[in-house]
């Protein structure tokens, strides 16, 4: 790749996006494309929607704009988009509220805001997200604000748009002094949003109340020009460069808003309710922008307990952003963070991050009052796995049982810190699940906020995570030991299905060698069904369910195969594994294997490396570990 050539091409693309004209030209553009007059909230929602929306099996939306970077927050994101962004885009009253993301540390709040800011920068460079402003305006003013109030209703009806807001003081005096009131001659340009250039995207962070000035939000007097213009109330002697000015038409991030001094928050009252704010000696200044703040739960509770904050409380929409509660999604978080590091040469054995994720999720779950439900079952249900005796309705009931679930527990940052520590210290250039769980355990004593009672709970969760990994490890080795695993599984399943069909239809099975007609092999069927806990009383219903599924597939022209029924697949696997258990045990635990055993070990090692993502180091470690498990 020619880097300089690509940079030049990028510069050319930016140049092509530039556009300049007059208000007359802009008015014709709005006539053809009324969406150019959309509000900041509408632009943000359309940006999210245009990135794509997928539906899961239950009809729940999944927003692709967020799903590429955020994992396991689909429910929180859905609430955020539908209850705030979508409603605000339709000009409902929620657009007059500050969006406050509230959740635990390292839960994704800052990432959401960063994605919105980066997304707006890119979206403003597309046709759908294009926006235009009065050229030279320090607040990238909407040109339609030039339309006199007396004419606005007529213009709105003619163009099919809404015009809200007034000219900023700087544009008002320019219209009078430079253009003699001729609004049709006022220059208009296309604006590209940029956080670095402070164009349509602002960030305010509280500091020492004694040194921080309100000018950081609303702008300040330009003392260098005040002698020229003679008055502090002359807009030409004022710098409209506060964060509220610069974020107009876009988004302002209010970092740690609730840590801010009260006098700074007062400016937000009229901005949120009326769409304007006060600066110095000027009339109210209109601003069309999305205010996004974030805080943790403790600070929010302290904020709402103060009666002085009641006026601001009513102008805030609080969106909880809890920790992810799905193991497979947590694994993706760690995988993403590891890839971003410079430790790519260290190989992570399969399931190592998964074991760490199990520990993290267990610390965030709350005990259920539902009979027979423990944290491990709950964890599996949340992760989309089937648990005997529980259905989709039970999952919704569990999620509604504790509305604050996920607002506490171990944060991803701690776990990735421990993983990083283990990766730095390893000499083998390979880490497995046991290495990572050991690193997490060693770090508990160094964690400043963990109490003695929590430490005991967390040690128990590490033990549970190890037990879950033990089962995964055994399955991995057992699968590798099965020669032509898919063929063996298919043969066993076909045999089972032939017997099930004969059993349900009260027919016989023909022996392929002798041609003799035989009764269905009850012993074979039960040996498979018992692997997944199908009782004697439930076997008939299970077998009939299998036949119904086969018929449904046939009607749709689809073939019923090994992966078509999850529970049957699990039963087939477990049956094969049970038959091979003794072979696995002997082969992995023999210190001086004979020629056949050595050949088998080499075959299994090769399978683990070629098919399951192991390296030679972790493959041999896995075999030794599973051998010790089977001999206990």
Question: Which string of DSSP letters, residue by residue, matches 130-187?
Answer: -EEEETT-TT---GGGGS-GGGHHHHHHHHT--------HHHHHHHHHTTTT-GGGSE
* pLDDT score for 297: 84
* pLDDT score for 628: 83
Q: What are phi and psi of 566, to 5 degrees?
A: -60, -45
Q: Three-state SS for 239? A: strand
* pLDDT score for 590: 65
Cα 41 from Cα 93, distance rounded (Å): 12
* pLDDT score for 137: 94
Cα 261 from Cα 207, distance rounded (Å): 9
The answer to whether the CB of 469 falls within 8 A of the CB of 351 is yes
Considering only CA atoms, which of 223, 226, 220, 227 is closest in space to residue 243?
220
* pLDDT score for 310: 81
Q: Three-state SS for 606? A: helix
Cα 465 from Cα 483, distance rounded (Å): 29
* pLDDT score for 344: 67
**Distances from the Cα of 475 to the Cα of 67, 198, 456, 584, angstroms:** 31, 55, 29, 11
3-state secondary structure string, 360-373?
A: HHHHHCCCCCCCCC
* pLDDT score for 202: 93
* pLDDT score for 387: 84
Count of all residues that appear for the chain in the document:
632
* pLDDT score for 564: 83
* pLDDT score for 14: 87
Q: In 3-state terms, the chain is what percent helix, strand and coil (to 5)?
A: 55, 10, 35
10 Å Cβ neighbour count for 246? 24
Domains assigned to the chain: 3-320 (3.40.50.300), 327-468 (no CATH), 485-579 (no CATH)
Q: Three-state SS for 318? A: strand
Element of type H or E holding 392? helix 392-401
* pLDDT score for 257: 83
Cα 529 from Cα 548, distance rounded (Å): 17
* pLDDT score for 211: 66
The answer to whether the CB of 148 falls within 8 A of the CB of 23 is no
Run means of pLDDT, 10 residues per run, the chain, 632 residues: 86 91 96 94 96 85 91 93 93 89 90 95 94 95 95 93 92 93 95 94 81 81 81 85 92 86 76 83 88 88 83 87 95 89 82 96 93 91 86 86 91 90 81 93 82 90 95 86 69 89 89 80 91 91 91 87 83 79 68 73 87 90 86 70
Q: How far apart are the first and last CA of the chain?
A: 56
Considering only CA atoms, which of 315, 211, 209, 316 is closest in space to residue 263?
209
């Amino acid at each position: 790749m020619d880097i300089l050539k690509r940079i030049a091409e990028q510069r050319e693309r930016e140049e092509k996006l530039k556009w300049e004209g007059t208000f007359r030209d802009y008015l014709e553009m709005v006539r053809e494309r009324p969406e150019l007059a959309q509000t900041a909230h509408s632009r943000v929602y359309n940006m999210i929607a245009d990135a794509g929306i997928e539906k899961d099996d239950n009809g729940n939306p999944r927003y692709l704009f967020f799903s590429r970077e955020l994992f396991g927050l689909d429910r929180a994101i859905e609430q955020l988009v539908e209850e705030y962004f979508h409603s605000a885009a339709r000009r409902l009253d929620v657009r007059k509220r500050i969006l406050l993301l509230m959740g635990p540390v390292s839960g994704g709040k800052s990432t959401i805001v960063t994605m919105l800011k980066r997304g707006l920068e890119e979206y403003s460079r597309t046709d759908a997200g294009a926006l235009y402003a009065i050229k030279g305006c320090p607040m990238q003013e909407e040109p339609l604000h030039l339309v006199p109030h007396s004419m606005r209703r007529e213009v709105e009806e003619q163009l099919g748009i809404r015009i809200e807001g007034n000219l900023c003081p700087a544009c008002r005096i320019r219209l009078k002094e430079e253009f003699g009131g001729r609004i049709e001659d006022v220059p208009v340009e296309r604006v590209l949003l940029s956080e670095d250039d402070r164009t349509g995207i602002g960030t305010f962070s509280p500091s020492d109340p004694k040194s921080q000035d309100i000018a950081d939000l609303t702008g300040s007097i330009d003392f260098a020009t005040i002698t020229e213009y003679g008055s502090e109330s002359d807009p030409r002697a004022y710098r409209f460069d506060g964060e509220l000015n610069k974020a107009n038409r876009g988004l302002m991030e209010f970092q740690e808003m609730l840590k801010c001094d009260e006098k700074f928050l007062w400016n937000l009252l009229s901005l949120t309710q009326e769409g304007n704010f006060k600066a110095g000696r000027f009339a109210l200044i209109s601003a069309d922008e999305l205010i996004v703040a974030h805080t943790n739960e403790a600070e929010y509770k302290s904020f709402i307990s103060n009666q002085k904050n009641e006026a601001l409380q009513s102008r805030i929409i609080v969106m909880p952003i809890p920790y992810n509660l799905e193991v497979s999604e947590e694994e993706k978080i760690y995988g993403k963070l590891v890839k971003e590091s410079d430790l790519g040469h260290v190989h992570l054995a399969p399931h190592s991050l998964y074991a760490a994720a199990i520990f993290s999720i267990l610390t965030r779950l709350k005990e259920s009052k539902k009979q027979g439900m423990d944290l491990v079952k709950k964890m599996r249900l949340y992760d989309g796995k089937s648990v005997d005796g529980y259905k989709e309705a039970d999952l919704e009931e569990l999620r509604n049982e504790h509305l604050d679930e996920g607002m506490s527990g171990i944060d991803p940052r701690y776990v990735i810190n421990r993983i990083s520590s283990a990766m730095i210290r390893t000499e083998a250039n390979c880490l497995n699940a046991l290495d990572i769980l050991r690193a997490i355990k060693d770090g508990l004593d160094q964690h400043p906020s963990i109490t003695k009672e929590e430490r005991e709970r967390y040690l128990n969760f590490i033990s549970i995570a190890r037990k879950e990994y033990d089962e995964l490890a055994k399955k991995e080795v057992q699968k590798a030991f099965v020669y032509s695993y898919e063929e063996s599984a298919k043969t066993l399943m076909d045999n089972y299905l032939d017997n099930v069909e004969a059993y349900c239809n009260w027919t016989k099975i023909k022996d392929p060698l002798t041609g003799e007609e035989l009764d269905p092999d009850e012993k074979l069927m039960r040996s498979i069904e018992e692997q997944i806990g199908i009782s004697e009383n439930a076997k008939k219903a299970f077998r009939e369910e299998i036949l119904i599924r086969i018929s449904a597939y046939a009607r749709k022209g689809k073939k019923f195969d090994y992966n078509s029924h999850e529970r049957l697949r699990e039963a087939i696997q477990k049956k094969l594994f049970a038959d091979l258990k003794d072979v696995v045990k002997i082969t992995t635990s023999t210190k001086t294997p004979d020629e056949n055993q050595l050949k088998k070990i080499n075959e299994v090692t090769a399978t683990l490396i070629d098919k399951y993502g192991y390296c030679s180091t972790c493959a041999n470690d896995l075999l030794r570990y599973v051998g010790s498990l089977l001999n206990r």
